[in-house]
Amino acid sequence: MAEKVPMTALSPTMEEGTITGWSAKEGDVISAGDVLCEVETDKASMEYEATQEGTLLKIIVGEGGNARVGQTIAILGEKGEDTSALEKEIAEEGSGGGSDEADAEAEASAEEKPEKQSAPEKPAEQPAAEQKTPEKPAPGTSSVAARSSGDSGIKASPLAVKLAAERNINLALVTGSGPNGRIVKRDIENFRGVPGGKAAVTSAAASGGAVPAGADQEIPVAGKRAVIAKRLSESKFTAPHYYLKTSVEMKSVVAARKMLNESLSDKVSLNAFFIKLVAEALKKHPNVNASWQGDKITQYGSIDIGIAVDLGNGLITPVVRNCGNRGIVDIDADLQELIGKARDGKLKPEEYTGATFTISNLGSFGVEEFTAIINPPGSAILALGATKQTPVVKPDGSIGVGNIMKMTLSCDHRVIDGAAGGKFLHELQQTMEQPVRVIF
């Protein structure tokens, strides 16, 4: 019996995904565990593995199409089985969103059907993407906003809508070349703005070229940016944050790293040192390695430290596990592999979720000091600034020059009291200034 194949949540925060490619084609025999397609989530590109067996009878959401979690993306069943009834049911559920080709075929097929001679008592509600195209604005009066077919009444394929949003192109300015003037992928790719009007961002600008001077840009909030906004807002407005600041002399850490790297072919990063030294401080202050759970506080046995990585279009936090029981070289090897996966969009959910403590380091950007928002489920995040040569007062009262880095610890007051946070930060400062303390 034919069955629907739904889009499943491939990451904890996923609400919808984009199918970047199908590994199987219609007519293929599928076994449980076979890769059906690749899906781009809010965090990474991931393989969708089948949980059902049968023949792939119909692909509902084609390459480049978006699907909400739970929405049907394909139909599996027995070879030769009729799927028309199931396809009708899916269409009624509003589970479209396939490729340009599939959309064009559907429209062409609909065109061949004769129109009814008499209108029904109440006109049937048109799908958003099939509503009548409104009159296009005169050149020079439109905004640069990229509209979706779901709320603009403009006829456009889902892939065209997606590309327009990515390139910040106003669909009202685009002339469609598909059936009945429908805007398709090639129309977005060939769009170069409206002569004499307020400039739209062209394909060249979207791919890194210069945006015309004076042009407004409205960037759709979706994907990673939408998730970052939602999660961090929840953290900031739910967890009562407070902040503790101190400075640390980095001379000993820099010397220790230099000594270690002289004996290695692959140099260990400074972030690996930070992770290890933070883990050692957490071992002595386990109440900071904890999480608020509403009616209880969970104090974690494993020290799993996340480090924020900038992907250009948002942040992701790869997590190095069990840092308290690992050496710096081992931590660095794991960290470099995770960062590589993050930049390639290949991190698995278990590799970027569940950090019990987080580090955000903006020192490489010259930032001297900042505060960071706690990354749940952890209850603290450490913000690290740049190391600067700074005048310092030596123990004998003389003035010297120190290599000073400022640290700011953000804490959730529900879990970590001020004194507890202060003790941890003081321990970390001492450990960084005297790394030999890790063997005490």
Q: pLDDT digit of tens for each residue in the chain (440 aa)?
A: 789 999 988 877 778 888 888 999 999 999 988 989 988 876 677 888 888 889 999 999 988 888 888 899 999 999 888 888 888 888 877 644 444 444 444 444 444 444 444 444 444 444 444 444 444 443 333 333 333 344 446 777 777 787 887 777 878 788 887 766 778 777 887 776 654 444 344 444 444 445 566 777 777 776 667 777 888 899 999 999 999 999 999 999 999 999 999 999 999 999 999 999 999 999 999 999 999 999 999 999 999 999 999 887 778 899 999 999 999 999 999 999 999 988 887 888 889 889 999 999 999 999 999 999 999 999 999 999 999 999 999 889 999 999 999 999 999 999 999 999 999 999 999 999 999 888 87
| Domain count for the chain | 3
Task: For residues 229 and 227, give the distance between their C-alpha atoms in angstroms, rounded to a whole number.
Answer: 5
Residues 189 and 92 grouped into a single domain: no
Please work out, in degrees rounded to the nearest 5, the angle formed at the alpha carbon of residue 336 by the alpha carbons of 10 and 308: 60
Range of the domain at 347: 224-439
Same domain, 249 and 381: yes
Burial zone of 25 (CB within 10 Å; 0-12 exposed, 13-18 middle, 19+ buried): exposed
Comparing CA positions, the residue from 98, 95, 225 lying closest to residue 165 is 225
In the listed set 220, 254, 272, which residue is the last one of a domain according to the structure? Answer: 220
Distances (CA, A) of 161 to 105, 168, 256: 18, 10, 53
What six digits make up the tokens of 262?
Answer: 């002289």
**What length is written for the chain?**
440
Do 248 and 367 have their domain in common? yes
Quick one: 283 and 392 in the same domain? Answer: yes
Evaluate whether residue 293 is within a structural domain.
Answer: yes
User: Are 72 and 5 contacting, i.e. CB atoms less than 8 angstroms apart?
Assistant: yes
If asked whether residues 12 and 84 sit together in one domain, one would say yes
Q: What is the token pair recorded at 169?
A: 């192109």
pTM of the full structure: 0.63
* pLDDT for position 246: 97
Q: Is residue 188 part of a domain?
A: yes
The reply to whether 306 and 424 lie within a common domain is yes
**380 and 254 in one domain?**
yes
Choice among 82, 216, 266, 417 that is catalytic: 417
| 42 belongs to the catalytic site | no
Residue 312 belongs to some domain of the structure: yes
- Same-domain status, 54 and 10: yes
Backbone angles phi, psi at 229, to 5 degrees: -60, -45
- Of 165, 193, 220, the residue at which a domain comes to its end is 220
Catalytic, out of 285, 330, 413, 426: 413
Residues 68 and 185 in one domain: no
Q: Residue 151 class from Cβ within 10 Å (0-12 exposed, 13-18 middle, 19+ buried)?
A: exposed
- Strand boundaries in 14-145, DSSP class E: 16-22, 29-30, 35-40, 45-49, 54-59, 66-68, 72-77
> Are both 213 and 70 inside the same structural domain?
no
272 and 377 in a single domain? The answer is yes
Domain assignment of residue 118, yes or no: no
418: in domain: yes
Measured between alpha carbons, how far is residue 22 from residues 35, 47, 78, 80, 86 in Å?
9, 10, 20, 21, 21
Beta strands in 60-129 (DSSP E): 66-68, 72-77
CATH number of the domain bearing residue 349: 3.30.559.10
What's the CA gap between 248 and 278, in Å, rounded?
13
| 28 annotated active-site | no
Instruction: Give 272's Cβ-side CA count (13 Å radius).
Output: 22
Look at residue 157 and tell me if it is in a domain: yes
Question: In the listed set 194, 220, 246, which residue is the last one of a domain according to the structure?
Answer: 220
Q: From residue 188, how far is each of 21, 83, 179, 221, 348 by CA, in Å?
A: 20, 33, 15, 19, 32
Give the CATH number of the domain where residue 33 resides. Answer: 2.40.50.100
Taking Cα atoms as reference points, which of 361, 316, 319, 321 lies closest to residue 343?
316
Q: Residue 326: inside a domain, yes or no? A: yes
Note whether 214 and 241 are same-domain residues.
Answer: no
What pLDDT was estimated at residue 1? Answer: 77
Residue 110 covered by a domain: no
Instruction: Please name the residues in contact with 396: beta carbons below 8 A apart, sequence gap of 6 or more.
Output: none
Q: Which two tokens stand for residue 30?
A: 């599928």
CATH number of domain containing 140: 4.10.320.10
Closest CA relative to residue 164, chosen from 266, 374, 176: 176
Rounded CA separation 217/220 (Å): 10
